[in-house]
Structure 1
Amino acid sequence: MKAEPTALGAGVAEAEESRVAARADTRLMRSLLIGIFLFMTVYALYFARAFFMPVILAFLLALTLTPIVRLLRKRGIPEVVSATLLVLVSIFVFASAGYVLSGPVIDLINNTSSIGQQLTERLAQLRRPLERIMDIAHQIEGLTETSQEPGVQKVAVAQSGFFSSAASNILSAGTSLTIIFVLSLFLLASGTMFYEKIIQSFASLTEKKRALRVVYDVEREISHYLLTVTIINTGLGTVIGLGLWALGMPNPLVWGAAAALLNFLPYVGAMITLVLVTVIALITFDTIAYALLAPAFLVLCDIIEGQFVTPMVVGRRLEINAVAIFIAIAFWSWLWGFVGALMAVPLLVVVKVFCDHFESLSHVGNFLAAQHTAVVEDEADEQDAAAAG
Structure 2
Amino acid sequence: MQPLVIAVLLFLLIRPAAQWLEERPLMQGKYAHPLMPYGVLVAMLFLVLWMASQLLYANLTAFTDEVPMLTQQLNDKVTWLEGISIMGYSFDISGLTELFSVETIDQYIASFVGSLASFTVNVATVFIFLLFIILEAETLPRRVKAAYPSDAERIEDITSNAGEGINTYVVTRATVAFGQAVIAGIMLWYLDVPGWFMWASITFMMDFIPYVGALISLIPPILLGLIILSPTWAIILIVVLVTNQQVWGALVEPQLAGQRLDMSPIVLLLLVAFWGWAWGIMGMVLGVPLAVIMKIALESDPRTRPIAMMLSRDPKVAEEE
Superposition TM-score tier, normalisation by shorter sequence: 0.7 to 0.9
Report whether the alignment pairs 1:185 with 2:144. Answer: no
**Structure-to-structure mapping, 1:366-381, within 5 angstroms:** 366-369=309-312, 373-374=313-314, 377=315, 380-381=316-317
Q: Contact (CA 8 Å) 1:73, 1:79: kept in 2 or not?
A: yes
Report whether the alignment pairs 1:301 with 2:263. Answer: no
Pairwise CA distance, 1:291: 0.8
Pairwise CA distance, 1:316: 0.2
Q: Cα deviation per residue 1:57-80 (whole Å; 9 max; x = unaligned)?
A: 212222222221121122242541
Q: Cα deviation per residue 1:268-306 (whole Å; 9 max; x = unaligned)?
A: 1111112222111111211x2321222322222223323
Report whether the alignment pairs 1:222 with 2:166. Answer: yes
1:290–1:168: structure 2 CA closer, same or farther, 3 Å change rule? closer
Letter in 2 for 1:63: L
> 1 CA distance for matches of 2:90 and 2:34?
64
1:169–1:280: structure 2 CA closer, same or farther, 3 Å change rule? closer
SS at match of 2:304: helix
Partner of 2:319: 385
1:310–1:169: structure 2 CA closer, same or farther, 3 Å change rule? closer
Q: Cα deviation per residue 1:193-250 (whole Å; 9 max; x = unaligned)?
A: 333332223243xx33333323322222223322332343233322321233234433
Letter in 2 for 1:251: G
Partner of 1:348: 291
1:354–1:57: structure 2 CA closer, same or farther, 3 Å change rule? same
**Structure-to-structure mapping, 1:241-320, within 5 angstroms:** 241-286=185-230, 288-314=231-257, 316-318=259-261, 320=263
SS at match of 1:360: coil
SS at match of 2:259: coil
> 2 CA distance for matches of 1:358 and 1:346?
20
**Structure with bigger RCO (C-alpha 8 Å, 6+ apart):** 2
Q: Cα deviation per residue 1:120-160 (whole Å; 9 max; x = unaligned)?
A: 4575459996868x99xxxxxxxxxxxxxxxxxxxxxxxxx
Structure 2 gaps, min length 5: 28-32, 95-110
Letter in 1 for 2:212: V
Pairwise CA distance, 1:82: 1.7
Q: Which among 67, 72, 87 is matched to residue 16 of structure 2?
A: 67
**Structure-to-structure mapping, 1:128-207, within 5 angstroms:** 173-188=119-134, 190-204=136-150, 207=151
TM-score under structure 2 normalisation? 0.75
Report whether the alignment pairs 1:95 with 2:50. Answer: yes
Q: Contact (CA 8 Å) 1:79, 1:189: kept in 2 or not?
A: no
Q: Contact (CA 8 Å) 2:275, 2:287: kept in 1 or not?
A: yes
1:268–1:118: structure 2 CA closer, same or farther, 3 Å change rule? farther
> 2 CA distance for matches of 1:345 and 1:303?
20
Report whether the alignment pairs 1:54 with 2:3. Answer: yes
Structure 1 gaps, min length 5: 1-51, 136-164
> 2 CA distance for matches of 1:126 and 1:85?
64
Q: Which has the higher helix share?
A: 1
Partner of 1:10: none
Partner of 1:333: 276
1:337–1:210: structure 2 CA closer, same or farther, 3 Å change rule? closer
Pairwise CA distance, 1:168: 9.4
1:240–1:228: structure 2 CA closer, same or farther, 3 Å change rule? same
> 1 CA distance for matches of 2:117 and 2:282?
17
Pairwise CA distance, 1:363: 4.7
Q: Contact (CA 8 Å) 1:281, 1:294: kept in 2 or not?
A: yes
Q: Contact (CA 8 Å) 2:158, 2:296: kept in 1 or not?
A: no
Q: Cα deviation per residue 1:331-365 (whole Å; 9 max; x = unaligned)?
A: 33343333333223332333233333333334543
Aligned residues: 295
> 1 CA distance for matches of 2:281 and 2:272?
9
> 1 CA distance for matches of 2:174 and 2:134?
18
1:173–1:222: structure 2 CA closer, same or farther, 3 Å change rule? closer
> 2 CA distance for matches of 1:345 and 1:122?
46
TM-score under structure 1 normalisation? 0.63
**Identity across the alignment (%):** 21
SS at match of 2:208: coil
Q: Contact (CA 8 Å) 2:208, 2:285: kept in 1 or not?
A: yes
Q: Contact (CA 8 Å) 2:85, 2:91: kept in 1 or not?
A: no
> 2 CA distance for matches of 1:316 and 1:216?
20
> 1 CA distance for matches of 2:233 and 2:257?
35
SS at match of 2:303: helix
1:189–1:310: structure 2 CA closer, same or farther, 3 Å change rule? farther
